[in-house]
């Protein structure tokens, strides 16, 4: 299982989302999950 954690500013999150999509494409039989950090929405 691979977990991509979304943290940081918008640019970092876009990069992490692109990584998440690429991992899903490269490893179709693996479990790939996204972890959204709750602290991002705190402010």
- Helix (H, G, I), strand (E, B), or coil: what is residue 1? coil
Sign (positive or negative) of CA dihedral 9, 18, 2, 38: positive
pTM of the model: 0.78
Profile the chain (43 residues) by mean pLDDT over runs of 10 residues: 90 93 96 81 53
pLDDT at 23: 96
Range of the domain at 19: 2-41
> Which pLDDT score, from 0 to 100, does residue 33 have?
94
Whole-angstrom distance, CA of residue 10 vs CA of residue 30: 27
Number of domains in the chain: 1
> Residue 6: beta bridge partners?
36
């Amino acid at each position: 299982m691979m977990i991509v954690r979304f943290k940081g500013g918008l640019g970092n999150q876009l990069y992490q989302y692109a990584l998440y999509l690429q991992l899903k494409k490269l490893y179709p039989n693996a479990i790939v999950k996204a972890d959204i950090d709750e602290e991002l929405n705190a402010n």
